[in-house]
Structure 1
Amino acid sequence: MSDKGKEEQLFSTVPSDSQSRSSQLDSDEKIENVVLNKDFKYRHVNMLAIAGAIGTGLIIGSGTALKRGGPGSLFIAYVFTGFLLLIVLMSLGEMAAYSPMDKAFSGYATRYVDPALGFAAGWNYFFKYAIVLSANLSALGIIIQYWRKDLNVGIFIAVFLVAIIFINWFNVKYYGELEFWCALAKLLVLALCFLVCLVITCGGSPTGKTIGFQYWREEAFTEYLVKGSTGRFLGFWACCIQSCFAFVGSEAIGVVFGETPNPKKNIPRASLQILFRIGFFYVLGVFLLGLVISPKNKLLATASGSNASASPYVIAFEVAHIKVLPSFINAALIIFVGSAANTDVYLASRALYGLAKDGQAPKIFLTLNRHGIPYNACLFTSMWGLLAFMNCSESSATVFGYFSSAVTVFGILNWLNILLAYNGYFRAIKAQNVPREEVVFRMWGQPYMSYFATFMISVITFFNGYNAFIGKFDYKQFITTYVGIVAYLVMIFGYKFWHKTKRVDPKTAVLDRSYKELYGE
C-alpha cells in the first residue's frame, strides 16, 4: 500500500472522503479509530526487549553503587531489584498480550483503575523522558569533550537534537531499525567488557596479577555513611537505589508493544527475553565488575561525569594497564547515550499521544503525518531538549542538575503505575469470569507476585531519599528526591477532584475491546 493509502486508512473513520483530519477528531468514537501503524518487525521488538534499555546506568552508574556497598551488596541488590523488574514487565506483557493498545501505560491505568491515575501515569511518563532528553543531550556533549575540550558543549547538543528530530519524523520502522543496530552494538560492547573483566580476574592482563575473588573476600559489604552493620545495610540500600535507576527505562518495551504487529504472538516472545537481559547483562555485568576493581580504589572514589573516565569498567582496564579500551568505551558511550536520547523522544511523544486519545491532553497531539507518526507530540517533546543548553553555563548547569534529579523518581513511579494497572486488570478478569486459559500469556504466581512487587517498590520509592536524613539534614537532597512524589500525588487527586472521576468497577471494566474493534485480529 502506498504512503497516501496508509494515511487515508489511518484517518478514515467514516465513509465520507471529504472530511478533514481535524473534523475526524471531534468525537470519541473517531478518536478511538485513529491508531498508530504497527510497523515494528519482530526482530526490532525482540532486540529492544533484550538491550533497548541498557544505558549508562550500568556502564557508568554501577561504579557509584560499588563504591558505596561493595561487590556483595551490588550483586545482591541487582538480583533483588531485577526480580522486581521481572514481575513488573511480565505483568505488563500479560496485559498487553491480552488487551493491546497504543495508549502507553496511561491507557491501562485509565481502563482498569481510575482515569485520575491514568492522567498522572501518562504525564509522569512524559515529564520523565522529556527532561531526561535534555540530560542525555548534555551527556553526549560531555562525551565528545573527552577528546575535544576546546569545543563548547552546545555545538554537540544542537547537532544531536536536530538528528533526533529527523529520525523521529519518519515511519516507526526506521526508528526500530536504527535502535536494532544500536542495541546490537551495545550487546557487543558489553560482551567485550565482560570478556576483558574475566581475562583480568584470571590473570591475563599486562600486569599478570590473578585477582579471583580477592575483593569479595576482603570487602564484599562496605560501610556507607555510618559505621557498623547499619552502615553495611545503608551500603546495600544505596546499591538497591542505584540498580533501580539502572533498570529504569526497561518498561519502555510496553510502549513499543502498541506498534507491534500480531501482538498476541510477539508480545509473549519479547516478554520472555526480559529474563535473559536481566540475568545476563545486568546481574552478570555487576558480578564481573566486583571481581576486577576494589570498592576502595581511589580512581573509583574520584570518578565523576558522563564520559569514559567515570566508567568503573574503564577504571578497571586502566588499573590492569590496558591502554586501548578507554577511548573505545567512550566512543561506545555515544551509541549508549545517543540511543537513549532518541528513545526519549519516541517514548514521551507516545505518552502524549496516549493521553490525547483518552482526552487528557490536547487533541493536537493525535495528529499523524503521512508516515503514521504523531509529529506534533514529537515536536513538542523535542522542544524540551532545549533545556540542555542550560548546561552551557556553570550556574545554569547546577539548576538543571536539581531539575533532573527531581524527576528521576518518576522512573520508579512508572513501575508502580504498571503494577497498579495490572492489579485492576486482574480483578476485572476475575470479576468477569474470564477463564485463565483464555489469557494468551500468563505469569506464574499472580496476583501475589504483583502485590509483593507493589509493596517493595512503594518502600523503595518512599525511602529513596534516605541519605538526606543521615547526619546533617540535607534539604536540597530532600526536596529534589520527594518533589516528584508530591507532584505525582497532586496530579492524581487534582484530576480526580476537578473531573469527579470514579474508580473503575471490575465488573464493567473493558477488557479486550481495543484489540477486537481496532485491530480485528
Structure 2
Amino acid sequence: MMKENSNEEPNGHVQRGLKARHVSMIALGGCIGTGLFVASGSAISQAGPGGALTAYILMGLMVYFLMTSLGEMATNMPISGSFAAYSAKYVDPALGFAMGWNYWFNWAITVAVDISTAALVMKFWLPNVPAWIWSAIALILIFLINAMSVSTFGETEFWMSAIKVVTIIVFLAIGALTIFGIMGGHFIGMRNFSIKQAPFVGGFPAILSVFVVAGFSFQGTELVGITAGESQDPQHSVPKAINEVFWRIILFYILTIFVIAAIIPYTSHSLLGSSATDIAISPFTLVFQRAGLAAAASVMNAVILTSVISSANSGMYASTRMLYSLSNSGYAPKKLGQTAENGIPYYSLLVTTVVSLLTFISSIAGPQIYMWLVAASGLTGFIAWFGIAISHYRFRRAFIKQGHDLSELKYHAKLFPFGPVLCLILCILVIVGQNPTAFMNFDWKQILVTYISVPLVLILYIAYKLKNHTKIIPLEKIDVSPSHKDEDLSKLNKG
C-alpha cells in the first residue's frame, strides 16, 4: 500500500534502517570499484608512479574536505536526496532543481552502464551466453534488493563492500611480499620508480589528466549524504563514516597505487591497455600473477563483478532517493514522493528502473543514442560536488552572519573556508581539463560529447529560474535551523 509522505516519522515516511556500519561501508564501497581495480593502471602509465601518487593524494584531500562540508550540512539537516535540498535552501531553488535532476540522471544512466558492464564481465566465464540475459538478471536483482527495505540494501552493500575491502588488504599484503622478493622469486624494491622518466612522466599536463581519472575513481563518496536521511543516528554515524572513509581511502588508494607502480613499470603495455572490462590486464591480476597465483584472473573477475553489481545497487538507491527528494521539494510529480509500508518510494524506484532499462536497450538498438546518454552523464558527479561545496560555503557564512555559534553544530567541517573553496577550484579545473585538446583542435563534436552535461545543467537552472522568478537567497534570509525530517522546499519556488 502506497502512502503520501507525512510528518509522522522523522524524514517523511522513509525509514531510518541504516546502521552506522552500513553508512561507513556504503561510503567506502561507493568509491572503490573498477576505477581502482582496473583503470588505475592507466593512471600510472600516463603520469608515472610519482605523478599518479600526486594526483590521487590531491584528489583524496579534496574529497575529504568535500565530505566534511557535506557532513556539516547532513548532521544539521539529515534528509534523503540531500544535495538538491541543500542547494535550494542555501543558494537558490533553481540550483536545487538543476542539481537534483542532474544527480538523478547521472545515477540512472550509471545503472544502465553497470548492468552492461556486468554482462561483459560474465563473458569471461560464459562467452556463449547472450549478454542481454546477464544484464536482465543484474537489473532484476538490483531492483529486488532496493524494493525490499533500506536495511536489506544496507546489509547487501555492507557485504559487497567488505569483499572489495578484503581484496585490497590481501592485494597489499601479497604486493609487499612480492616487492621484497618473498613471493615471485626476486627482490624488486623501488627500481621501477627510477626507470627512464620515472617517477614523474609528462609533467603537469599528465598529472592533470590523471587528476581527472582519480576524480572519477573517488565519485560515490557523496553517498553518505544520501544515506544520512535513513540513518538510525545521523549525528553520530555520518561524522564517523567521514573520518573513517578518509583514512581508508587514502591508505587503500595510495598504497595500492604504490604497490602497482613498484611491481609493474609504467612502460608496461598492459598498463597502457587498462580498461574497465579487460580483466586479464587488470593491475591487480598482473600483480597476483607476478606473485605466482595462477587463479588470479578468475578471482579478480569475481571481485570486479561484485564491484559492478555494488555500483549499480548504490546507483539505484541514490537515484531513487534523489527522485523522492525532488518530489518532496516540489520539483517532480507528487506521486514520486509516496512510500510503501516498508518506507520504500516505489514509484521513484519504478521510474528509475524504467529509465535504466530504456537506456540499456538503447545500447543495443541505438549505440549512437547510448553514447550521447553516457556522455551527458560524464561530468555530473563533479557538478554535484561543485553544488555541495557552494552550498556549504553559503550555509556556514549564513550561520555566522545570523549570530549563531559553531558550538551549535553537531559536526564542524575542517578548515573553513579553505575546504569548500579548494573543492570549487579543483572541480572547475577537472571539468575544464576533461578534454583540452578538443578546444585546441576546434573539434566541436568532441567538445559537445565531453562537456554536454554542463550546458544541460545550465539549461535546467536558467529555465527554472525564468519560469519561477527565483533569486539567490540573501545570507540573512537563509534558514539554517536544524531539521530532522524531509523539508517541503516548494515554498521557496516563488523566490
TM range (shorter): over 0.9
Tell me which of 304, 311, 327 is aligned to 2:298.
327
Change (3 A) 1:478 1:123: same
The answer to whether the 8 A contact 1:300-1:315 is kept is no
Q: 2:6 touches 2:13 (CA, 8 Å); kept in 1?
A: no
- Could you tell me which residue of structure 2 aligns to residue 340 of structure 1? 311
Cα deviation, residue 102, structure 1: 2.7
Q: Distance in 1 between matches of 2:103 and 2:50?
A: 33
Q: 1:516, 1:103 → 2: CA distance?
A: 12
Structure 1 residue 66, shift from structure 2 partner: 1.3
1:438 partner letter: E
Given residue 118 of structure 2, which amino acid in structure 1 is its aligned partner? Answer: L
Alignment of 1:93-492 (within 5 A): 93-206=71-184, 208-218=185-195, 219-221=197-199, 223=201, 231-386=202-357, 387-392=359-364, 396-397=366-367, 399-469=369-439, 472-492=441-461
> Does the C-alpha gap of structure 1 residues 372 and 389 become closer, same or farther in structure 2, counting only changes over 3 Å?
same
Measured at CA, do residues 220 and 474 of structure 1 come closer, stay the same or move farther in structure 2, by a change above 3 Å?
A: farther
Q: Which runs of 5+ in 2 are unaligned?
A: 488-495
| SS of 1:408 mapped into structure 2 | coil
Shift of 1:13: 5.4
The match for 1:24 is none
Identity %: 29
Letter of the 1:448 counterpart: F
Equivalent AA in structure 2 for residue 170 of structure 1 = M
Give the counterpart letter for 2:198 in structure 1: A
What's the secondary structure of 1:501's corresponding residue?
Answer: coil
For 2:404 and 2:21, locate their aligned partners in 1 and report how far apart those are by CA, in whole Å: 32
Distance 1:12 1:406, change over 3 A: closer
**TM-aligned CA distance change 1:271 to 1:299, over 3 Å:** closer
Q: Does 98-107 or 433-442 show the bigger shift? A: 98-107
Q: Distance in 1 between matches of 2:236 and 2:7?
A: 27
Quote the Cα distance in structure 1 between the aligned partners of 2:257 and 2:431: 23
Contact 1:135–1:388, Cα closer than 8 Å, also in 2: yes
Deviations 1:404-434 (A, max 9, x none): 1331111111110100110121122012111
Q: Does 1:50 align with 2:19?
A: no
Q: Which stretch has the larger CA shift, 125-134 or 259-268?
A: 259-268
Alpha-carbon distance between aligned partners in 1 of 2:482 and 2:186, rounded to the nearest angstrom: 63
User: What one-letter code is carried by the residue in structure 1 that aligns with 2:438?
Assistant: A
Amino acid at match of 1:313: F
Shift of 1:68: 1.0
Provide the C-alpha distance between the structure 2 equivalents of 1:391 and 1:360, rounded to a whole number of angstroms: 29
Note the alpha carbon deviations across 1:245-280, whole angstroms, 9 max, x for none.
000111111100111122222222122112222211
In the other structure, the counterpart of 1:79 is: 57
State the secondary structure of the residue aligned to 1:40.
Answer: coil
CA distance, structure 1, for counterparts of residue 6 and residue 183 of structure 2: 64
Which residue does the alignment assign to 1:226?
none
**Is 1:89 equivalent to 2:77 in the alignment?**
no
* 8 Å CA contact retained: 1:145, 1:153: yes
Q: What is the one-letter code of the residue matched to 1:312?
A: P
Deviation at 1:399, TM superposition (A): 4.7
Provide the rounded CA distance (Å) in 2 between the counterparts of 1:246 and 1:305.
12
Aligned match of 1:228: none
Q: Which amino acid aligns with 1:193?
A: F
SS in 2 for 1:495: helix
- Pick the aligned partner of 2:19 from 41, 49, 53: 41
**More divergent stretch after superposition (213-222 vs 440-449):** 213-222
CA drift of 1:442 comes to 0.7
Q: Which runs of 5+ in 1 are unaligned?
A: 15-29, 224-230
Kindly provide the CA deviation profile for residues 291-350 of structure 1, in whole angstroms up to 9, marking residues without a partner as x.
111121122223445142241221333455532211100011111000111111100011
1:272–1:303 Cα change, 3 Å:
closer
CA distance 1:503–1:480, shift in 2 (3 Å): same
Q: How much has 1:111 moved relative to structure 2? A: 0.6
Alpha-carbon distance in structure 1 between the residues aligned to 2:89 and 2:432? 26
Return closer, same or farther for 1:233/1:433 CA change in 2, 3 Å cut-off. Answer: same
Offset, 1:371: 0.9
Question: Which position in structure 1 is the counterpart of 2:46?
Answer: 68
**What amino acid is the match of 1:234?**
P
**Matched position secondary structure for 2:147:** coil
Amino acid at match of 2:423: A
Task: Specify which of 452, 474, 481 is matched with residue 505 of structure 1.
Answer: 474
Pairwise CA distance, 1:70 = 1.0
CA contact (8 A) 1:215 1:290 kept: yes
Distance in 2 (alpha carbons) for counterparts of 1:401 and 1:318: 35
Counterpart amino acid of 1:97?
Answer: T
Number of residue equivalences: 485
Contact 1:73–1:235, Cα closer than 8 Å, also in 2: yes
Asked whether the equivalents of residues 62 and 286 of structure 1 are also in contact (C-alpha less than 8 Å), the reply is: yes
CA contact (8 A) 1:222 1:232 kept: yes
Using the TM superposition, name which of 105-114 and 63-72 deviates more: 63-72
CA distance in 1, matches of 2:452, 2:205: 22
**Cα displacement (A) at 1:481:** 1.3
The AA in structure 1 aligned to 2:124 is Y
CA distance in 2, matches of 1:275, 1:304: 26
What one-letter code is carried by the residue in structure 2 that aligns with 1:412?
Answer: F
Structure 1 residues 482 and 221 mapped into 2: Cα distance closer, same or farther (>3 Å)? farther
